[in-house]
Amino acid sequence: MSTRWTIETHDTVTSTMDLARKRARAGAADGLVVVAEEQTGGRGRRGNRWESPQGGLWLTVLLRSPDALDPLVTVAGALAAADACSRSTGVDVRIKWPNDLYAGGAKLGGVMAEAASRTVLLGIGINANVSAGRLPSVEYYRTTSLALEAGSPVGLVELRETLLEELEVRLAMVSSGDPGVVEEWRARSLELGRRVVASRGAETFQGVATAIRDDGGLVLDVSGERVVLMPHGDVTLGLLGKAGAEG
């Protein structure tokens, strides 16, 4: 295990984001990783609740380097999580733009970032061994766990260690401006080449996702007539099907 990370484990917390924020305010160093077996008030992006029963991997990484504010840090988190899941189980894990983890067409996990006291808190949640009955039921998409996709439980400590190993590599790539991060993101993308519906504020567009730009924006070809850029960070996206197919 790399010396970059200091792991703090808990049985039950409200949210690892909140605890990591408290640690940041108290001056905790770069590389602290707050891990919990269960969260009673887990949070997702856009103020959503994040169900976090036992069996999942729930953690927040505290990052203090100046480049931690780079928006690609959340992408680094998603790539690290996706790679760790694939390496541990062989399951094909995809990234739904911008940083949701998907397997078998269902949401497996998610990544979020928050700023706190000149620090970035990178939160990663994976439904690793969450049983089918404890998976959240969400109106707009299906949810799954790694164990369900793989057909057998995954070692949580091994998954966490692999994830942190992968994260260290990806963060170094972000720091050095390595274009490989965006290239890997494209290769892991769930929607490139597929029909999507995207909402930006009050506007909704249907089209084929044709590219992820170097700045993280998603490019949509709307009915072959015009190209629309979805800026990274402020778009809701739904999948419709393969390009060329109806629906």
Binding site for ligand BTN (CB under 6 A): 15-17, 39, 42-45, 48, 50, 52, 58-60, 100, 110-112, 123-125
Provide the minimum distance between the beta carbon of 122 and ligand BTN in the complex, in angstroms, as a whole number.
9
User: In Å, what is the CA distance from 221 to each residue of 13, 103, 151, 231?
Assistant: 44, 25, 37, 14
Nearer to ligand BTN, 59 or 174 (CB): 59
Contact residues for 246 (Cβ-Cβ < 8 A; gap 6+): none
Which C-beta is closer to ligand BTN: that of 196 or that of 208? 196
Query: In one letter, which amino acid is 194?
Result: R
Smallest distance from ligand BTN to CB 10, Å: 11
Q: What is the distance between the alpha carbons of residues 243 and 116, in angstroms, rounded to a whole number? A: 41
Least distance CB 16 / ligand BTN (angstroms):
4
42 versus 55: smaller Cβ distance to ligand BTN: 42
Choice between 5 and 58, CB closer to ligand BTN: 58
Residue pointed to by tokens 């953690």: 59
Question: How buried is residue 33: exposed, middle or buried, by Cβ count under 10 Å (0-12/13-18/19+)?
Answer: buried
Q: Cβ 136 to ligand BTN, closest distance in Å?
A: 11
Question: CA-to-CA distance for 60 and 84, rounded, in angstroms?
Answer: 16
Q: Closer CB to ligand BTN, residue 112 or residue 230?
A: 112
- Closest contact distance (angstroms) between CB of 61 and ligand BTN is 10
C-beta of 190 vs 208, nearer to ligand BTN: 190
Is there a contact between 218 and 212 (Cβ–Cβ < 8 Å)? yes
Length, in residues, of the chain:
247
**Residue 223 beta carbon to ligand BTN: minimum distance, rounded to whole angstroms:** 30
Residue 48: strand, helix, or coil: coil
Contacts of 202 (CB under 8 A, 6+ apart): none
